[in-house]
Chain A
Amino acid sequence: MNFILAWIYKYRTVLGGLLFTAAAGGLAHAAWSSSGWNVAQDGMLLATSRRILEGQVPYRDFIWSQMPLALWLHAPLTAWAGDALFLQARAIIWFQLAALAWIWAWMVNRVLRRPLGALGLPLMAVIAFGGAGYSFLPIESDTVNALFLSTLGLALRLGAPAGPSGSARRWLGYSLLGLAALCKQSFWIFPPAVVLALGDGRRLSAWLAAAWPMMGLILYLSIVGALYAAWQQVFTGTLPLVWYWNALIAYSMNGLYAYLAMRWMEGVPPLNVPAKARWLQRLAGAGMWGLTAVLLARLILYTAAAKTAAMLFWSLIGAWSYFLLERRPAARADVLIGFLAWWLGLAACSFDDQRVLVLTAGIMSLPLLIWIWRIAPRRWIRVAGVAATAAVWLALSHYAQEVRPDPLVSRRYRSPPTLDAPRGECVYSLTGVLAGGAGLNTSSNVYAVILDLHEAVRRAEQTGHAYAILPDMPGHWARSTALNPLPLDWVANPELSDSALQEQVVRALESRRGRLVIIVQKFQGRVLWRDERRQYNWPLPVAYTRKYFKRIAETQYFELYQ
């Protein structure tokens, strides 16, 4: 008995993590996974993963603008999940997010030396999980996989003992960081930064461990003759860095506010204003954080979740700058954990979809909340403060699940996380309607479109030819009986930002002229849930099809061209 208790005590963190992952992930899955379906993005990764199962080689046989590892990681699921494919994919995401939250909470707790005591670890895990989960679109994504692998690798490295006994864990940790970079190219910046930040810059083994996955991939692509195509496709979505910076810089003034707030609260070095009185400066600092909280609350309630995350991102950088500029080396631990958190946020950013920054919102808020509440004189007040802040945040996020117009900015609506109608309106079951969609519910608009797609497909199949769908509906191909004859499942601008790739799709259409029916949608997939009929800048293949192919039939939501 004592042996068992000792074993449990020894592995309490891991066991706690498993318990938390199962409980939090399971609860979130039960509560939210069944709700919502978006015809534009949902299922894209799984559909492309199916191509791997069919023996296709990424970049050579199909267009893929991301790194390919996530395709291989999802291949087993696509093969074995059956008709509840999408539901099970969502479950995996929730479990990944829950595990991520626990691991980050453990890392923050360890690096900052248990700032919140015994309750700290579970409390921080709830915050990290809730911050991401409440606003995240629960679809399979390369970002989630990259975050998961990076976090696992980072935890292994941080937990590795110094000296030779920790070399295996260090090697494994950096290898995982290197593998994460094979899920999404923005994660290339993460492993070198971690190697340098953790003082392993002079260890050749660390660099080798982080680099071998990339070298392996390059070797594989060279052997299968896909290297040049990979280069073209992966870098085509990489817009200029200046553009990236300009997109990221929104809400960056919060960096300055956070820095000043920390200066006022900590009082070192002292500032001239508002007055030399210490209490007044603390009040100014607390007031500035209070104002930031109010602005954040407004963003959570009425605008996109990405903006909330962007504001947190810059607030973290600002507060971290305080420790970097004014308190180093005494605050080395704060500098390290703050850096790892915001750098991970930066790595998670996307060129085309800023919402993915939300995934790290909870993680980024951990050091921030600890730094803010550290001003409290007693530990119980700190714990209560962090818990209360988190409770308000999560309550607001929960309240914001309902779509409401912004009272200050007319005609601006907050999108639901699923990009489908709010949960209460998702009452139409996709079981038996969408292949792989068993267990999912959606809104009346999406349901009607998917039913209409069946009719369009039926008419296309009557011609005796293969069919393709433009530009959305990538999820259709994940479990459909037919294979997608085009080299791309989601023919939309984020995946086709380069004209050469657009022309490649057009060439594919032309090469199958007479043997292919092209189903072209009449609506805009992303905003289908709110039935918006705004002008849409259709991608080139859609415009080309409409202009140079002959329309042979149409249904309510689709046109058929041959």
Chain B
Amino acid sequence: MPGSTQVGPGALISVDGGIAGLGPVPMLPAKQFHVIGLKTLAGILFVGLATLAAHWSFSWIGYNPTDDGFTLAYSRRLLDGQIPHLDFIIIRPFLSPVLHMPFVWVAGDSLYWWSRAFVWFQWASMAWLWTMTINRLAGRPFRMIDCALLALIGMAFSANTWAVMAWHTIDGLWLATIGVALICGRTRRRLRFLGYLLLGTAYLCKQSFFPAVPLILLIHRDWRDLRLWLGAAIPGIAYVIYLALTGALWDAYIQLTAISSMADVLDSNARGLTVYVFFGYLAFRLIAGAPAIVGLTHNPRLSARLGAGLVAVVAILDIVTPAFTLRSLYATSYTLASLLLGGALYFVLEARRGNPFLQLILMILVLAWSATISVGAKSPALMAGPMVIALLAGILPAVFRPRWRTVVLLILAGLTAAGFRSLRHEVVYMEQPAARLTFALDGVFPGGRGIKTNPNTYAFLADLQKAVALASGYPDPYAILPDIPGYWARAAQRNPLPIDWAKNTELSDLRLLRRVTDALDAQRSHLTMIVQKVQAFPLPQGFKNLGSSDKFAVARHVRQNFKKCGETTYFELYR
């Protein structure tokens, strides 16, 4: 019967899900429902297990009192009822602190422990969503077991040696990933609208995701649909309205445009992209076999194998070896981006228009590029997972039969997991190797229960407690300069300054710097300043004097204009 399909024994329902007398109730065919149910279950299982395994294995490793926890400190300010941009300085939109507010609210003294679990959850769910999206757009070449293995590889590549901490770029990528999963290959406009809405929230985590919205609208050929533009714009409009209503619009403008130069980012991008783009182009062309390369015209299988081999050689040289030679993917993730860009170039230059796989590659590259727009981490490393999954999806089906694909993926996943474990233990973000992290932060650092660090950082943070005790001898509140922003996430006292991490990265605009120094001057004699004697970044290596460089301009201001009233081993107190 036209317009109907038979699902299950004797059942007959129309394809639009309508049942006589009950109106149009959306229903899925039982087989499709079964598949979707299986996928959902597999997804939940993967994300749950991967999160748990990674969390138990790695979350306890290391803490450095610099950027770790500064998002959580912002969350605390929001919970305290402060208005972002107006009451405190935040040079990125504030959705990321909003996302992490529940943890600050409920996690208690194990705040960092639970916050890290959420970050692992974000990485696991991103890996799974990208795998399913890529599999769907590549024509479903992978079975469920393959998808699980791919997701595992993707998660390990994205997480790599990145610090497990609440971080705006990870939040932005997470929301964008959910958005892209809802956009790609979907015919239902409501889903796509929701997808663009989520994509719009990504730039509220970090403004670098703003260019991604129009680019993805263009890439997915949705740019003619005004409603989808609206969907992507709604979060931004809501943000502006909120700022206008709270009177924070001008402050927000100053703060969000404090770092606007793209020269360094583009320079890093240009340096990172290499001849591997050419290799990627050649690999995809060899795999597709069109236009045929001289000498391989009549041998498409050899051509495909050569293409796969080309990528494999580059991967062994530049991508796989880092895991085993204990180097992070910070720089070599550009190799992945180069290969994928080469693939995109192939589809653009040689293939027919409208290829969904090309759309997918371009979206991945756009998000990877958005992640590179950064002050300190101009690398697409956080998108290494989706990039490697897309490469594998483009290559493996062309050269291996399904059974062999599983075997190859099993081997790759095993190697990746082994390399990942070794990397996470040996290359810890601003820390010593995991084996040397024997000092627990329980009771020494608020919110740090369950986290272990090196002897230097421990001594530094333990000494902070002494400094705080000394400062508590005065009736006034105290502030800490220039680092340790994570302290304020669970501190008994609120931070009296409008900034938690008073460093050049957060205060690059002179007006922002003045605002902080003015706040200090205004509270003179009503505030005790605890100023570090040593820098926090190199703590794992030793104790290096803070110095008086522009990086620590606020601390320098205090040292020059306030009077020292006490000191401990690593801190000085000023009033």
By a beta-carbon cutoff of 8 Å, the part of chain A in contact with chain B is 242, 245, 249-250, 252-253, 255-256, 259-260, 269, 271-273, 314, 318, 321, 324-329
Give the interface centre of B274, B321, B348, B351 by most chain A CB atoms within 10 Å: B274
Q: For A252, what are the chain B residues with a Cβ–Cβ distance below 8 Å? A: 274-275, 278
What is the CA–CA distance of A249 and B270 in the complex, to the nearest angstrom?
12
- Are A269's CB and B275's CB within 8 A? no
Known contacts A325-B294, A327-B294, A271 near B275 by CB under 8 Å: no
A241 (CB) vs chain B CBs: closest residue: B317
- Are A255's CB and B294's CB within 8 A? no
What is the CA–CA distance of A318 and B345 in the complex, to the nearest angstrom?
15
Q: For A253, what are the chain B residues with a Cβ–Cβ distance below 8 Å? A: 270, 273-275, 277
A327 (CB) vs chain B CBs: closest residue: B294
Those of B214-271 within 8 Å (CB) of chain A = 270-271
- Are B278's CB and A249's CB within 8 A? no
* 8 chain-A/chain-B pairs, Cβ below 8 angstroms: A249-B274, A252-B278, A256-B277, A256-B281, A256-B345, A260-B349, A272-B349, A324-B294
12 additional A-B residue pairs with CB within 8 Å, beyond A269-B291, A325-B282 = A242-B318, A249-B274, A252-B275, A253-B270, A253-B275, A256-B275, A256-B281, A272-B348, A273-B348, A314-B275, A325-B293, A326-B293
- Are A326's CB and B294's CB within 8 A? yes
What is the CA–CA distance of A327 and B351 in the complex, to the nearest angstrom?
20
Asked if B350 is an interface residue, CB under 8 A from chain A, the answer is yes
Q: For B348, what are the chain A residues with a Cβ–Cβ distance below 8 Å? A: 272-273
Give the interface centre of A250, A272, A328 by most chain B CB atoms within 10 Å: A272
Known contacts A271-B350, A273-B348, A249 near B294 by CB under 8 Å: no
- Are B278's CB and A259's CB within 8 A? yes
Asked if B10 is an interface residue, CB under 8 A from chain A, the answer is no
Those of B322-360 within 8 Å (CB) of chain A = 342, 345, 348-351, 353
Give the interface centre of B270, B278, B291, B321 by most chain A CB atoms within 10 Å: B278
- Output the least CB separation between B267 and chain A (Å): 9
- Output the least CB separation between A53 and chain B (Å): 45
Interface of chain B, helix or strand or loop or mixed? Answer: helix
- Output the least CB separation between A330 and chain B (Å): 9
A249 (CB) vs chain B CBs: closest residue: B274
Q: For A259, what are the chain B residues with a Cβ–Cβ distance below 8 Å? A: 278
Asked if B295 is an interface residue, CB under 8 A from chain A, the answer is yes
B347 (CB) vs chain A CBs: closest residue: A272
Q: For A255, what are the chain B residues with a Cβ–Cβ distance below 8 Å? A: 275, 278
A409 (CB) vs chain B CBs: closest residue: B267
- Are A242's CB and B317's CB within 8 A? yes
Question: Contact check: which of B282, B295, B321 meets A328 at CB < 8 Å?
Answer: B295
- Are A329's CB and B294's CB within 8 A? yes
Q: For B317, what are the chain A residues with a Cβ–Cβ distance below 8 Å? A: 242, 245
B281 (CB) vs chain A CBs: closest residue: A256
A330 (CB) vs chain B CBs: closest residue: B294
Question: Contact check: which of A245, A250, A271, A318 meets B278 at CB < 8 Å?
Answer: A318
- Are A249's CB and B293's CB within 8 A? no
Those of B471-529 within 8 Å (CB) of chain A = none
- Are A249's CB and B275's CB within 8 A? yes
Q: For A250, what are the chain B residues with a Cβ–Cβ distance below 8 Å? A: 271
Q: For A314, what are the chain B residues with a Cβ–Cβ distance below 8 Å? A: 275
Interface of chain A, helix or strand or loop or mixed? Answer: helix
- Output the least CB separation between B427 and chain A (Å): 18
Q: For B274, what are the chain A residues with a Cβ–Cβ distance below 8 Å? A: 249, 252-253
What is the CA–CA distance of A326 and B282 in the complex, to the nearest angstrom?
12
B263 (CB) vs chain A CBs: closest residue: A408
Q: For B278, what are the chain A residues with a Cβ–Cβ distance below 8 Å? A: 252, 255-256, 259, 318, 321
- Output the least CB separation between A336 and chain B (Å): 15
A258 (CB) vs chain B CBs: closest residue: B278
- Are A271's CB and B294's CB within 8 A? no
Q: For A273, what are the chain B residues with a Cβ–Cβ distance below 8 Å? A: 348-349
- Output the least CB separation between A227 and chain B (Å): 32
B325 (CB) vs chain A CBs: closest residue: A242
Question: Contact check: which of A272, A321, A329 meets B350 at CB < 8 Å?
Answer: A272
Q: For A329, what are the chain B residues with a Cβ–Cβ distance below 8 Å? A: 294
Those of B292-319 within 8 Å (CB) of chain A = 293-295, 317-318
- Are B294's CB and A328's CB within 8 A? yes
Q: For A272, what are the chain B residues with a Cβ–Cβ distance below 8 Å? A: 348-351, 353
What is the CA–CA distance of A325 and B285 in the complex, to the nearest angstrom?
11
- Are A271's CB and B349's CB within 8 A? yes
Give the interface centre of B274, B275, B293 by most chain A CB atoms within 10 Å: B275
- Are A242's CB and B321's CB within 8 A? yes
What is the CA–CA distance of A245 and B316 in the complex, to the nearest angstrom?
13
What is the CA–CA distance of A314 and B273 in the complex, to the nearest angstrom?
14
B280 (CB) vs chain A CBs: closest residue: A256
A248 (CB) vs chain B CBs: closest residue: B275
What is the CA–CA distance of A249 and B293 in the complex, to the nearest angstrom?
25
What is the CA–CA distance of A272 and B346 in the complex, to the nearest angstrom?
10
Q: For B349, what are the chain A residues with a Cβ–Cβ distance below 8 Å? A: 260, 271-273
- Output the least CB separation between A72 and chain B (Å): 38
A323 (CB) vs chain B CBs: closest residue: B294
Q: For A271, what are the chain B residues with a Cβ–Cβ distance below 8 Å? A: 349-350
Task: Return the 3 tightest CB-CB contacts between A and B, nearest first.
Answer: A252-B275, A256-B278, A269-B291
- Output the least CB separation between A12 and chain B (Å): 37
What is the CA–CA distance of A335 and B295 in the complex, to the nearest angstrom?
14
What is the CA–CA distance of A126 and B318 in the complex, to the nearest angstrom?
40
What is the CA–CA distance of A272 and B348 in the complex, to the nearest angstrom?
7
- Output the least CB separation between A30 and chain B (Å): 41
What is the CA–CA distance of A272 and B270 in the complex, to the nearest angstrom?
25
- Output the least CB separation between B331 and chain A (Å): 9
Q: For B277, what are the chain A residues with a Cβ–Cβ distance below 8 Å? A: 253, 256
Q: For B342, what are the chain A residues with a Cβ–Cβ distance below 8 Å? A: 256
What is the CA–CA distance of A259 and B349 in the complex, to the nearest angstrom?
13
What is the CA–CA distance of A260 and B348 in the complex, to the nearest angstrom?
13
Q: For A324, what are the chain B residues with a Cβ–Cβ distance below 8 Å? A: 294
What is the CA–CA distance of A324 and B282 in the complex, to the nearest angstrom?
13
What is the CA–CA distance of A153 and B295 in the complex, to the nearest angstrom?
31
Q: For B345, what are the chain A residues with a Cβ–Cβ distance below 8 Å? A: 256
Q: For B273, what are the chain A residues with a Cβ–Cβ distance below 8 Å? A: 253
Give the interface centre of A259, A321, A324, A325 by most chain B CB atoms within 10 Å: A325
Q: For A318, what are the chain B residues with a Cβ–Cβ distance below 8 Å? A: 278
What is the CA–CA distance of A328 and B275 in the complex, to the nearest angstrom?
22
B318 (CB) vs chain A CBs: closest residue: A242
What is the CA–CA distance of A499 and B463 in the complex, to the nearest angstrom?
41
- Output the least CB separation between A42 and chain B (Å): 33
- Output the least CB separation between B362 and chain A (Å): 14
Q: For B351, what are the chain A residues with a Cβ–Cβ distance below 8 Å? A: 272
What is the CA–CA distance of A282 and B144 in the complex, to the nearest angstrom?
48
- Output the least CB separation between B465 and chain A (Å): 38
- Output the least CB separation between B406 and chain A (Å): 31
Q: For B291, what are the chain A residues with a Cβ–Cβ distance below 8 Å? A: 269
What is the CA–CA distance of A324 and B294 in the complex, to the nearest angstrom?
8
What is the CA–CA distance of A269 and B342 in the complex, to the nearest angstrom?
18
What is the CA–CA distance of A412 and B454 in the complex, to the nearest angstrom?
40
What is the CA–CA distance of A486 and B275 in the complex, to the nearest angstrom?
44
What is the CA–CA distance of A294 and B353 in the complex, to the nearest angstrom?
33
- Output the least CB separation between A350 and chain B (Å): 20
- Output the least CB separation between A127 and chain B (Å): 25
- Output the least CB separation between B282 and chain A (Å): 8
- Output the least CB separation between B274 and chain A (Å): 5
B321 (CB) vs chain A CBs: closest residue: A242
What is the CA–CA distance of A273 and B353 in the complex, to the nearest angstrom?
11
- Output the least CB separation between A349 and chain B (Å): 15
What is the CA–CA distance of A256 and B350 in the complex, to the nearest angstrom?
15
What is the CA–CA distance of A249 and B271 in the complex, to the nearest angstrom?
10
A314 (CB) vs chain B CBs: closest residue: B275
- Output the least CB separation between A251 and chain B (Å): 9
What is the CA–CA distance of A260 and B346 in the complex, to the nearest angstrom?
11
What is the CA–CA distance of A273 and B274 in the complex, to the nearest angstrom?
22
What is the CA–CA distance of A192 and B274 in the complex, to the nearest angstrom?
28
- Output the least CB separation between B335 and chain A (Å): 10
- Output the least CB separation between B57 and chain A (Å): 29
Q: For A242, what are the chain B residues with a Cβ–Cβ distance below 8 Å? A: 317-318, 321
- Output the least CB separation between B266 and chain A (Å): 13
